[in-house]
Chains A and B, each alone.
Chain A
Amino acid sequence: MASTEEDGSVEEKENNNKKRTKSAIAVAWLTFYNIAMTAGWLVLAMAMIRFYIQRGTHKGLYKSIARTLKFFQTIALLEVVHCAIGIVRTSVIVTGVQVCSRIFMVWFITNSIKQIQNEESVILFLVVWTVTEITRYSFYTFNLLNHLPYFIKWARYNMFIIMYPLGVVGELMTIYAALPYVRKTGMLSMRLPNKYNVSFDYYYFLIIVMLSYIPLFPQLYFHMLRQRRKVLLGEIIVEKDE
């Protein structure tokens, strides 16, 4: 983006004015939201386990849980709103990127490209997401209730070490499997000539998305590693100045 017109010095922090105590309504709403989301992902976990026990195969599993998955993953958009209105103190952009990547996987890959719904990689990332989300939402819930069991904190800051890379593998393999079908159907693509004078090739877009995992995933991973050192091991980490 273009340069700022301000000099390099830090402007007065307007955060001094932001109330540090949340309103009771905000706490109540967030508690309700996080309990609901924990329950939702637990339901998904149960449905997936039950399907596999009853059928013995993963074929058709996605289809059976698709509606529930779409519902709960899409509701997560509210988390961006929470950051935007300030009741959750996380960056809007970070949350936005995370939620959007999930929405993208669900709606623009697995939902739209039926032929890849029975791929093993889909099950892989579904399992990872389920475990991660149950841990995350119960962590937030207990935090809001001020009664955080150590094992939940432990889970949140340790499981990701395996879950993140596994999830990335599942997602990347799924997108890769979808490529031939995207190419064949030309879905979500627009060619010239048209009256908006623009073109879009979903196939090449997906390749760029896959490549973008290379710079983005390490940043998120190391961010979580740093958070883990701070929270679990009590390390005081001096942030590098720009």
Chain B
Amino acid sequence: MTRPSLTSDESFRTLTAKMKHYEVEILDAKTKDKLCFLDKVEPNATIGEIKSMFHKSHPQWYPARQSIRLDPKGKSLKDEDVLQHLPVGTTATFYFRDLGAQISWVTVFLTEYAGPLLLYLMFYFRVPFIYAPKYDFTTSKHWVVHLACMCHSFHYLKRLLETLFVHRFSHGTMPLRNIFKNCTYYWGFAAWMAYYINHPLYTPPTIYGEQQVRMALVLFLFCQIGNFSIHIALRNLRPPGSKTRKIPYPTKNPFTWIFLLVSCPNYTYELGSWLGFTLMTQCLPVAFFTAVGFIQMTVWAKGKHRSYLKEFRDYPPLRSPILPFIL
């Protein structure tokens, strides 16, 4: 009589029973105090799971604010890293750094974009205490002012919807103080721009008049569609819930063909949109906002471009970070 062979399930269980469990100790990166000792940790446990276990013994340090590293001054380990694949013995020593209070990227984005949307509308409708009382709740007689309001509102509405339905974020959280920095930037500039565009003494574009406004609108809409196309293309690079990174390539959508020349065309299109808005409104504060945004996006684009070059040997050499051939 032959013995029935083990099923794959049973063989797996036999195998893991034979595997040794790890012991994990977590030390403070600065003081080297022993903060936590975990025994009987599965070899296939991830850093994320270890963070959850650490959180149980230190409830004030939720996983998002834990930075776990192999070396006190080294880089943070990723949540997906598996214990047995790390260069540690069966007693693993990790160092912990508190990243400070964290807030989710989604929350920050929603807050920083909702502000400009609402603030601009307050100026557009000339809510009391902004302009002289005789202008309260009046509307501008210039059609470009109505157009500008529609464009500005559309832009931020698009951003809000993209945050909710399109973007796939690499990181869950960022430091809490960022929300104050970011909101000051977005809300401050939005109020500054909106004040002048909706001012009773606003002067519509004078250099090329109506033609300027029309061309600016075309540029704005073109770049809005372009920016959205890029966001969709980037989303489709990444399966839901994953954090994989792949080289983006042009798709059937002509707006993505710019990937041939640029690493971060979303920023290129964003610059174009704001250039359009500047020309449309002929308002110096808008020009400032465009310039500052361009500088920041260039810094991000260069960083992203460098990461692509480092990560992928076969990265297309023709691409520039943000402006084709120039920057």
Q: Point out residues on A near B: beta carbons under 8 Å.
A: 1-10, 192-199, 241-242
- In the complex, A10→B74 CA distance in Å? 9
A196 B283 Cβ-Cβ under 8 A? yes
A6 B303 Cβ-Cβ under 8 A? yes
**Is B326 an interface residue, CB under 8 A from the partner?**
no
Quote the shortest CB–CB distance from A3 to chain B (angstroms). 5
B201 A192 Cβ-Cβ under 8 A? yes
- B183-195 to A contact mask, C-beta < 8 Å, 1/0: 0011000000000
B185 A5 Cβ-Cβ under 8 A? no
- Given A1-B181, A2-B185, A9-B76, check contact A196 B284 (CB 8 Å): yes
A7 B285 Cβ-Cβ under 8 A? no
List residues of chain B with CB within 8 A of the CB of A199.
196
Q: For chain B residues 175-230, which have a beta carbon within 8 Å of chain A? A: 175, 178, 181-182, 185-186, 196-197, 199, 201-203, 206
B303 A5 Cβ-Cβ under 8 A? yes
- In the complex, A1→B291 CA distance in Å? 13
A8 B284 Cβ-Cβ under 8 A? no
Question: Chain A contact residues: over half helix, strand or loop, or mixed?
Answer: loop
List residues of chain A with CB within 8 A of the CB of B27.
none
A3 B201 Cβ-Cβ under 8 A? no
**Is B85 an interface residue, CB under 8 A from the partner?**
no
- Contact partner of B283 among A2, A3, A6, A197, CB < 8 A? A197
The 9 A-B pairs of least Cβ separation, nearest first, read A198-B284, A193-B201, A192-B201, A197-B283, A196-B284, A197-B196, A3-B178, A9-B76, A195-B206
- Given A2-B185, A3-B181, A197-B281, check contact A8 B199 (CB 8 Å): no
- In the complex, A6→B301 CA distance in Å? 11
Q: For chain B residues 275-327, which have a beta carbon within 8 Å of chain A? A: 281-285, 292-293, 296, 300, 303-304
Quote the shortest CB–CB distance from B143 to chain A (angstroms). 16
- In the complex, A192→B186 CA distance in Å? 24
Quote the shortest CB–CB distance from B212 to chain A (angstroms). 12
- In the complex, A239→B196 CA distance in Å? 44
List residues of chain A with CB within 8 A of the CB of B281.
197
List residues of chain B with CB within 8 A of the CB of A5.
300, 303-304
- In the complex, A194→B283 CA distance in Å? 10
Total A-B pairs in contact (CB under 8 Å)?
Answer: 66
Could you give 30 example pairs across A and B, Cβ below 8 Å? A1-B181, A1-B185, A1-B296, A2-B185, A2-B186, A3-B181, A4-B300, A5-B300, A7-B76, A7-B170, A7-B171, A8-B76, A8-B174, A9-B67, A10-B75, A192-B199, A193-B202, A193-B203, A194-B203, A196-B282, A197-B196, A197-B199, A197-B202, A197-B203, A197-B281, A197-B282, A198-B196, A241-B30, A241-B97, A242-B100
- In the complex, A7→B307 CA distance in Å? 13
**Is B164 an interface residue, CB under 8 A from the partner?**
no
- Contact partner of B182 among A2, A6, A241, A242, CB < 8 A? A2
A197 B67 Cβ-Cβ under 8 A? no
| CB nearest to A3 among chain B residues | B178
Known: A3-B181, A197-B284. 7 other contacts (CB 8 A): A1-B182, A3-B182, A9-B67, A193-B202, A195-B206, A196-B284, A197-B199
List residues of chain A with CB within 8 A of the CB of B293.
2
| CB nearest to A5 among chain B residues | B300
A8 B99 Cβ-Cβ under 8 A? yes
**Is B108 an interface residue, CB under 8 A from the partner?**
yes
- In the complex, A199→B304 CA distance in Å? 37
Q: Point out residues on B near A: beta carbons under 8 Å.
A: 30, 67, 75-76, 97, 99-100, 108, 112, 170-171, 174-175, 178, 181-182, 185-186, 196-197, 199, 201-203, 206, 281-285, 292-293, 296, 300, 303-304
| CB nearest to B205 among chain A residues | A195
Name the residue among A4, A6, A193, A197 with the largest chain B CB count within 10 angstroms. A197
| CB nearest to A193 among chain B residues | B201
List residues of chain A with CB within 8 A of the CB of B76.
7-9
List residues of chain B with CB within 8 A of the CB of A195.
203, 206, 282
- In the complex, A146→B67 CA distance in Å? 43
- In the complex, A190→B171 CA distance in Å? 45
- In the complex, A194→B303 CA distance in Å? 40
B75 A9 Cβ-Cβ under 8 A? yes
List residues of chain B with CB within 8 A of the CB of A194.
203
- Given A3-B174, A8-B67, check contact A197 B181 (CB 8 Å): no
Quote the shortest CB–CB distance from B119 to chain A (angstroms). 17
Quote the shortest CB–CB distance from A11 to chain B (angstroms). 8
List residues of chain A with CB within 8 A of the CB of B67.
8-9
- In the complex, A129→B186 CA distance in Å? 38
Quote the shortest CB–CB distance from B79 to chain A (angstroms). 11
- In the complex, A8→B197 CA distance in Å? 38
List residues of chain A with CB within 8 A of the CB of B97.
241
